[in-house]
């Protein structure tokens, strides 16, 4: 359940351009969560958004291992969705839960 009392979480999916990342992001979207897909390559990540409203999904091209780019990612997600509840790697490993 989201921190706002709704069933919707805000989830950042890393490596969204991989097949595993695509499946993870689509599963989160199908469950009704809002998703920010982070990818180093835009082409593969763009396919995630098809069929979903802009209020539910966004794609950010960035290298999350680079601190300055990661800060921009988190700033953009919070600006768009108001918070981040979970950060997950495309390979389903939870990396970080932000308060």
The 3 state secondary structure assigned to the chain is CCCCCCCCCEEEEECCCCHHHHHHHHHHHHCCCEEEEEECCHHHHHHHHCCCCCCCEEEEECCCCCHHHHHHHHHHHHHHHCCCCEEEECCCCEEECCC
Band (91; pLDDT cuts 50, 70, 90): low
Please state the pTM of the whole predicted model: 0.84
3 falls within a domain: no
Q: Based on the structure, what is the number of domains in the chain?
A: 1
pLDDT tens-digit series, residues 4-20 = 556 699 999 999 889 89
Q: Which pLDDT score, from 0 to 100, does residue 4 have?
A: 52
90 falls within a domain: yes
Residue 49: pLDDT over 50: yes
**CATH code, domain with 38:** 3.40.50.720
Residue 21: pLDDT over 80: yes
61 falls within a domain: yes
């Amino acid at each position: 359940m989201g921190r706002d009392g709704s069933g919707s979480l805000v989830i950042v999916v890393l490596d969204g351009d991989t097949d595993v990342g695509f499946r993870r992001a689509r599963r989160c979207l199908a469950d009704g969560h809002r998703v920010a897909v982070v990818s180093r390559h835009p082409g593969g990540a763009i396919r995630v958004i098809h069929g979903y409203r802009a209020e539910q999904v966004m794609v950010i091209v960035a290298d999350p291992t680079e601190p300055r780019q990661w800060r921009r990612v988190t700033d953009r997600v919070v600006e768009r969705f108001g918070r981040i509840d979970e950060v997950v790697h495309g390979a389903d490993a939870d990396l970080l839960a932000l308060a």
